Every structure is written in structure tokens, then in C-alpha cells.
A and B are shown apart, each in its own frame.
Chain A
Amino acid sequence: GNSVTQMEGPVTLSEEAFLTINCTYTATGYPSLFWYVQYPGEGLQLLLKATKADDKGSNKGFEATYRKETTSFHLEKGSVQVSDSAVYFCALRDSSYKLIFGSGTRLLVRP
């Protein structure tokens, strides 16, 4: 079946460091891909998305490119801030319209 695999955390970085969180997927057809973020004590909120191959989603300095050849959707940010500390979830929405999540990656940014 369809699935999403994320790198395990936690990821600990110093402020202004470069961030990469890896995400790969297995799916039939052409799923839409998403990154959601969960701040402490809150629900998930959409960070960015891409709906077709080679699309780049971006928001708040974060970027991810839909790579069909490598079935990947890695999240990147050039300079992280303490306020970026959260749990990040990669997800795909398949042809049945269900949203399937990866296990999440906790990011901790130290001042």
C-alpha cells in the first residue's frame, strides 16, 4: 500500500543552521505531497504542498520539491530559528483521497 517514510529524529540544530528533513514515499499514480507542522500542544497545520512532479512548495522560508524519479519530498530551510522548533510530518494524499502521514520528525533549535 501507499506509505511515507521520514528520517527519525530528533534533529537538533543551532540557530541559523541549514535544515534538511528527508521524506520518501511509495504510492501508485500521482499523489499530492504535503508537509505539516505541529507546534507543542497544538494540532497540525499545513506548511507547504506540491501537487505534481517538479513542483516546489514553499512557505515561511521552508521549501520542498516533488521529485518523482526519486520518490522524495525533502524539506529544507536555509537558516532555522528557535521558533521553528516543532514536529514536522510529511504526508501524501492518494487517489482514494486519504491523507497518509509519516512518523514525524522532531526539530529542536538551540539559541
Chain B
Amino acid sequence: NAGVTQTPKFQVLKTGQSMTLQCAQDMNHEYMSWYRQDPGMGLRLIHYSVGAGITDQGEVPNGYNVSRSTTEDFPLRLLSAAPSQTSVYFCASSLGQGSASNTGELFFGEGSRLTVL
């Protein structure tokens, strides 16, 4: 099983460039989310989605956009990269809140390491 797949695994950008981090899951999960991981700060929620066509902001949404046109995909867009966005980004998914078989577990991708110069 592929699970949650993130691409690219590594990326270097210059300040002001834009890019998209891709995330795809093959588990038919309704809930998807993006986190960033920084030293000493744990994981902070950027954006999340409870289903196709629905997105919402997390704790640190500024500078990032998301869309959810399909159940499988949840791309994260950086419109104008800044050095403060240097981080490791994780995509995660789970069954929906109303699912009878939902254990609450989030399934994570392997991460995308982004450096902004």
C-alpha cells in the first residue's frame, strides 16, 4: 500500500519563488492536513480539509494556499517563498470524523524538506 505520498522530498528555492508540494493518499480518507516541523516547536498545523471542496486554516496559514478538488489530493502552494518557510513539511490523512471505523489515527507521509535561500 502506498499510503500517503509526498513529493518532492527535497527542494531548494530562492526568496520570492513559488512552488507546490504535492500530497496524495490512496486510503479514501476524507480528512487531510499539512503540518510544518521546526526544531523545538513540534508540528504546527498549516491547513486542513475535511473533504473534497472544503478547506480551512490551521495555526500557521499565512503564506500558504491549499485546495481539495479530489478526495485523493491535497497540494500545498507557497506563493512567494520566504526564508521563514524553511522547514520540513508533512502531509497527513485520516478517516472522517463521522466514520464508524475511525480510530482518530493520522497517517503521515515521509516529509518534504524545503530550504528557502
Contacts and interface: CB of A to CB of B under 8 A. Distances in A.
Interface of A: 32, 34, 36, 42-46, 49, 51, 89, 93, 97-104
Given A100-B45, A101-B42, 17 more contacts: A32-B104, A34-B104, A34-B105, A43-B4, A44-B106, A44-B108, A46-B105, A49-B103, A49-B105, A51-B104, A89-B43, A93-B104, A98-B58, A99-B45, A99-B92, A101-B44, A103-B41
Interface of B: 4, 31, 33, 35, 40-45, 48, 50, 58, 90, 92, 97, 103-106, 108-111
| Majority SS at the chain B contact face | strand
A49 B109 CA distance: 20
A106 B43 CA distance: 14
Contacts of A101: 35, 42-44
